[in-house]
Amino acid sequence: NSGKIEEAEFNFLKAVELGDAPYQSYRNLSRVKKFVSQDEHYKKMLELHVSESASDEQRCAISFALAKACEDTEDFEQAFKYYAEGNKLRKMLLNYDKIQDEKLFSQIRSSYPQIEQNSLNSEKLSNNLTPVFIVGLPRSGTTLVEQIISSHTEVKGAGELIFASKYGARLSQGL
């Protein structure tokens, strides 16, 4: 965030005026604009929301934009309805299956005792070495943490270890 909110709002308003991808333009506008009333943009978003020609992806974007506008104007009940609709559409668009995730987490939970049983025995390791694993999602700061820690004279950074991504998922599921 470079703090250029007013400039962003101006540019999103320009995109709305040009009419190119209005659903996404309104979604982007809602992220930077503070709605103080049900203004002309809110009314246009309502029109787009009920448009029969809108795709599910477009209706999803406009639902989230309307939810944000309602939240700004403290119409929380209506905001909740639009958020619920947007989330339902997004879940459908992603082809999300909760059962698939439940199965994955169940596999991970059930394989934990086996992982623990086969873990390294610290008594067999050299007393001079202590491995440190930095684990995180992409773009979460793990590289920075590794750089900071490995700047110490007694620490050596190993970089990203491909075996973790190659075997980690299968290992965590007991496969």
Residue 161 · residue 142 · CB < 8 Å: no
What is the per-residue pLDDT across 119-151, written as a single tens digit (0 to 9) for each?
766 666 556 777 888 888 777 888 889 889 888
What is the per-residue pLDDT across 49-62, written as a single tens digit (0 to 9) for each?
998 888 999 999 99
Query: pLDDT averaged over the chain?
Result: 84
A 10 A CB-CB count for 7 gives 11
Which span out of 33-42, 90-99, 132-141 was modeled with the highest average pLDDT? 90-99
What single letter denotes the amino acid at residue 78? Q
Window from 17-21, 48-52, 110-114 with minimum mean pLDDT = 17-21
